[in-house]
Chains A and B, each alone.
Chain A
Amino acid sequence: MDGTPILQMEKVDTYYGSIQVLYGINVEIGQGELVCLLGGNASGKSTLLKTILGVCRPKRGTVKLEGERIDGKPIKSIVSKGVAIVPENRRIFPRLTVLENMEMGAYLRTDKDQVQRDIDEMLTLFPRLKERLHNPGITLSGGEQQMLAMARALLSKPKILLMDEPSMGLSPALVDQQFELIQNVNRQGTTIFVVEQNANMALSVADRGYVLQTGSIVLADTAQNLLHNEMMQKAYLGGST
């Protein structure tokens, strides 16, 4: 990795009240990488993303965006510095139109003309969205909502895009589509950090991966290595057959 990593988490401990959920997390993501965070239930994956975004505040450790500390800052501040998220279950605004959803993605931007150009670009990238431009979000199919959520997040021109369990609630066919989308977006230059339960799928598109188990990182390697690592099965299914 050359240059300052986009995201750095060092020795992060996060608590829910008095219960510790993350133990000494060290994560580094470089410019242009596609990194995934894997783990089973109750591993702490979501909490980790929330810590980056500012929804949770780490008790110990630091989170840095391009070298600047963002831990402890309010969500609005962190988002404005260039962190965008595609939340779990996508969370598009149900009664806003496709266009309005996208406008919300660009909420913090002040360069109106460029925003318009970017929206047009998104619409060429996702022609299906163009067809449904003035339909309310809730009328979109699962696949269309995926695209919309992605477009909305990208419109903030983020330095890093976080994705929380993109395969959740999707049928197997749509999962394929979703990860292809992620791969494409990454190829166009966006740094992406994906939290995912579906290990194989995530590793087949990612550069690197971290595996989280009950709050600690137990594996960190290139995606290829992880795919063939026996420890993966153990971490997920706990023990040999």
Chain B
Amino acid sequence: MRPEIAGIAWSQRQKAMGFVLIGITLVIVPHLMPNNYWLRIYGMTGIYVMLALGLNVVAGFAGLLDLAYVAFFGIGGYLFAFFSSHHFDIHLPFPLVLPLSALVTMGFGFALGAVSLRLKGDYLAIVTLAFAQIFKLLLFNLDRPVNITGGVNGIFNFDPIEIFGFKIVSPIAYSYLIWFLALVVIIGSFRIKRSRFGRGWEAIREDELAAEAMGVNTTRMKLWAFAGGAFIAGASGTLFASFQDSVFPNSFDFQQLVVIYCMVILGGMGNIVGVTLGAILLSILPEFLREYGAYRMMFYGLILIVLMALRPQGLLGEIGFLTKKMKRPDKDETGVLKASTDLYYDVDSMKAPRKAGYSIDRRPILELNNVTMNFGGLVAVDHLSLTLREREILSVIGPNGAGKTTAFNLISGIYPPTSGKVLFEGTNITGLKPHQVVEIGIARTFQNLRLFNKMSVLDNAKVSQFCRTKSGPLSILLRLPRHRTEERETEKVAKEMLSLFGARLTGYRFDQGAMFLSYANRRRLEIARAMSTNAKLLMLDEPSAGMNPQETVEITEFIKALRDIYGYTILVIEHKLNVVKTISDRVIALDYGRKIAEGSYEEVASNKQVIEAYLGRKKN
């Protein structure tokens, strides 16, 4: 497997050369600075790079608009002041203070995350903003009656730091230290991005519900996002405090936050190279605009407005360097952009023989016992009971609004039923969260397709392996054997599932953004993604919707093969009754949330109640 950075494949040798080059640059550049002033700018740029990358974790990867981020920067700074100065007369050595501050700040990150878990989008932004304001207020006011924070003047005059005997006092020494750590953060960012954590976060950013439905523990991952960002911000703050030899409240205010956000957005949210460049650009640019004073902040404001209107994905885009391949929309063999909704189907062309009957002796794998879903007066599912046996394909049919998708949602845990039980392999799974349901072995697709659009085809499939892997941040960052093994396994499973669809989702398609696929391929990917969860039971919600007759035949054969060759048990919602006829062992029909017929296809399709449900009753 060739490691990839920013969408370009690098060989081992090229990578090593790259590192050497960067190393040499970092050693030389400080000496190229004309004077101390520019050396300090160089140092601050390094700190900004770290800060921006930390924000990139929580806002770029996970898509959480955390407006309290700058407070973590402040906490790290003040912690250094507490641990290494005369203020409290504590004098811990720097190699201890740095990780300690980072960890304590991370703790605050977890706390903020825990409080904000249920909030989305705008509300999350506002609540975090309120917390940041409280933080700043505390900084200003906690100097009476006991002087904790030093009030408006802050705290200054810290202990000089030294690492393994080397005293870090001169700006050049600080530059080395800061940029070394910045490099560590950059490498760490790449590692975490291409791990289950990075994929889990990006999935949450794209579609939190779908991520949860593919096995990602969204609650825990959101907490980790806050914590991860806080960790880096805390470390940056500690460095910053030592570098400036002071901390005061105005260094950690809203203006600072806006600057960091601009860096991340300008570079492209989630794009590590972009964010790094954005940070460097926006650290240096103001120096050239110094004489323009307040124009600086106006400029930042304008950047935000203009970027959002014209190029919200930032200068370098969110998916990484978009190669030409990724931009090309999907074309089928005929060369025409295939995305039709031709649904006319012809009975005679369905030539494949159908397997006879259904086996009564196979053990029940899924049971619904009198499940009811009442949405505040609207009964969407009404005392539904069904049994699904191993290696059976059960089709669910019924007119719009009959409760089919609601039943799926109940089984997959999106909301718990008002009453009744859902059992899987004998275990009661009623009320479990969706990611837990996935872990147990049930996976589903969505009627309206909920792919992770900006992620690649391969990554979409890899996300599903989240619940089958366990590596934590430490394993990932240190590339421990467990992580490497899990990554290999993840890739293997994902590629296997995708290759079941032939050339459509493999080869160069692996790296193509999901949003560039044709409609039919997107439906296929949705199924492949569900399969990659190592599920035993698949729930397919209108798998052939929008496909032309050719594609429909193909998907029909495929679903049958899933049962016959691969041993899946499948629950299908389908409207094309020809498809239902071909694949089903059994069929149940729903109307107004109730089961109105059950049996073989022939029995159900000729049932008067069913026909009436579809065509409607005649008028009285």
Contact = CB atoms under 8 A, between A and B. Distances in A.
Interface stretch (A16-24, A56-64, A79-87): A16-24
A234 to B, nearest CB: 9
Nearest to A232: B615
A3 interface: no
B616 A237 contact: no
A218 to B, nearest CB: 8
A232 B616 CA distance: 12
Interface string A2-38: 0000000000000000111100000000000000000
A238 B617 CA distance: 19
Interface in B336-351: 337, 339-345, 347
B616 A18 contact: no
B617 A168 contact: no
B261 to A, nearest CB: 31
Instruction: Give the contact-size bracket for chain B.
Output: 20 to 34
Contacts of A205: 619
A175 B615 CA distance: 13
Contacts of B592: 171
A41 interface: yes
Interface string B120-137: 000000000000000000
B341 A168 contact: no
B187 interface: no
B173 interface: no
Contacts of A198: 615-617
B252 interface: no
B615 A214 contact: no
A204 B399 CA distance: 20
Nearest to B620: A176
Interface string B304-347: 00000000000000000000000000000000010111111101
B286 interface: no
A204 B620 CA distance: 9
Nearest to A21: B341
A236 interface: yes
Contacts of B519: 19
B302 interface: no
A50 B421 CA distance: 42
B575 A239 contact: no
Nearest to A180: B619
Nearest to B399: A197
A238 B577 contact: yes
B578 interface: yes
Interface string A197-232: 111111011000000011110000000000000001
B615 A238 contact: no
A190 interface: no
Contact of B616 (A41, A199, A233): A199
B546 interface: yes
A238 B606 contact: no
Interface in A134-190: 167-169, 171-172, 175-176, 179
Contact of B401 (A21, A44, A168, A200): A168
A110 interface: no
A96 B208 CA distance: 34
A199 B577 CA distance: 18
Contacts of A179: 619
A199 B612 CA distance: 10
Interface residues of A, number: 37
B602 interface: yes
Contact of B617 (A19, A20, A169, A201): A201
A226 B560 CA distance: 36
B428 interface: no
B611 interface: yes
B577 A239 contact: yes
A230 to B, nearest CB: 12
B340 A20 contact: yes
A114 interface: no
Contacts of A197: 399-400, 616
Contacts of A175: 616-617
A44 B340 CA distance: 12
Given A42-B545, A215-B341, A241-B605, A176 B619 contact: yes
A214 B337 contact: no
A72 interface: no
B295 interface: no
A215 B546 CA distance: 11
B581 interface: yes
Interface string B127-150: 000000000000000000000000
A197 B620 CA distance: 18
Contacts of A232: 615
Nearest to B342: A214
B618 interface: yes
A223 B578 CA distance: 27
Interface of B: 337, 339-345, 347, 399-401, 519, 545-546, 575-578, 581, 592, 602, 605-606, 611-612, 614-620
Those 4 A-B pairs whose CB atoms lie nearest each other, nearest first: A198-B616, A214-B343, A204-B619, A200-B616
Given A198-B615, A200-B617, A238-B578, 12 more contacts: A20-B340, A42-B343, A167-B616, A176-B619, A197-B400, A199-B615, A214-B343, A214-B344, A215-B341, A237-B577, A237-B605, A239-B581
